[in-house]
């Protein structure tokens, strides 16, 4: 069964970017520390990055994140989805207006203008099709940004929450949780590495 997995890195004080995220510095001041684990040589970090990349049948992101990854300082042939994995699942972008052009033309982009629920539904269809083609179960991954994942949790669209807790206090930035609908989580695993604590929950 295709799962909807929200996957994001955050600081000990709950921020998914540092202060002042902007074009050219999408993670804000100090925010790069949130993703140190994704580029580390720790064997467990490498395993988690690889497993997340290969299980992704489709990926949902918000427009702001798309503008960063498709921008001139964004992804390339070496660094992309899954960090150095540079995996190429289908990508679904939630946006009010599709962009006039796409730099990363080698990736499969779909732009959904009718809301997050429709974007998740479209991504599920792509992931189910990819599962049939590959012969193994693949998931939909909500990779962010924080507002997209927060909205998906509030709307009850998320089956699992995968958090990568970086050992850093940013003091300010973009928070992951800003109130909203209470959710009960069931802890499934905790993996502690040299660079992060990786937490996996069922959302019930």
- The model's pLDDT over 127-146, given as tens digits with 9 standing for 90+, comes to 999 999 999 999 999 998 89
Task: Name the pLDDT band for 162 (thresholds 50, 70, 90).
Answer: very high
- The model's pLDDT over 27-75, given as tens digits with 9 standing for 90+, comes to 899 999 999 999 999 999 999 999 999 999 999 999 999 999 999 989 9
Q: Is residue 146 part of a domain?
A: yes
Task: Name the pLDDT band for 181 (thresholds 50, 70, 90).
Answer: confident
| Rounded-to-integer distance, Cα 50 and Cα 30, Å | 25
Contact indicator for 14, 177 with CB cutoff of 8 Å = yes
Instruction: Provide φ and ψ at 69, rounded to 5°.
Output: -70, -30
Residue 46's domain comprises: 4-174+187-203
- The model's pLDDT over 4-40, given as tens digits with 9 standing for 90+, comes to 999 999 999 999 999 988 877 888 999 999 999 999 9
Q: Is residue 148 part of a domain?
A: yes
The pLDDT of residue 186? 98
Q: Is residue 151 part of a domain?
A: yes
pTM > 0.85:
yes
Domains held by the chain: number: 1
Q: Is residue 181 part of a domain?
A: no
| Rounded-to-integer distance, Cα 11 and Cα 125, Å | 33
User: What is the CATH number for 99?
Assistant: 3.40.430.10
Contact indicator for 7, 156 with CB cutoff of 8 Å = no
- The model's pLDDT over 86-99, given as tens digits with 9 standing for 90+, comes to 899 999 999 999 99
3-state secondary structure of 39: helix
| Rounded-to-integer distance, Cα 34 and Cα 30, Å | 8
Specify the DSSP element, H or E, that contains 52: helix 43-54
Q: Is residue 179 part of a domain?
A: no
């Amino acid at each position: 069964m295709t799962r909807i997995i929200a996957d994001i890195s955050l600081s000990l004080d709950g921020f998914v970017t540092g202060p002042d995220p902007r074009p050219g510095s999408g993670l804000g001041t100090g925010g790069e520390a949130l993703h140190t684990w994704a580029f580390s040589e720790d064997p467990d970090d490498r395993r988690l990055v690889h497993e997340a990349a290969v299980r992704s049948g489709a990926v949902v992101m918000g427009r702001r994140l798309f503008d960063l990854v498709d921008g001139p300082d964004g992804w390339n042939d070496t660094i992309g989805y899954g960090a150095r994995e540079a995996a190429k699942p289908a990508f679904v972008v939630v946006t009010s207006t599709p962009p006039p052009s796409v730099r990363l033309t080698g990736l499969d982009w779909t732009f959904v203008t009718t809301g997050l629920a429709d974007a998740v539904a479209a991504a599920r269809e792509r992931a189910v099709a990819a599962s049939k083609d590959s012969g193994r179960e693949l998931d939909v991954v909500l990779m962010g940004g924080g507002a997209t994942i927060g909205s998906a949790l509030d709307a009850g669209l998320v089956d699992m929450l995968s958090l990568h807790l970086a050992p850093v206090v940013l003091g300010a930035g973009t928070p992951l949780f800003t109130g909203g609908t209470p959710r009960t989580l069931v802890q499934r695993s905790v993996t502690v590495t040299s660079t992060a604590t990786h937490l996996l929950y069922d959302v019930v």
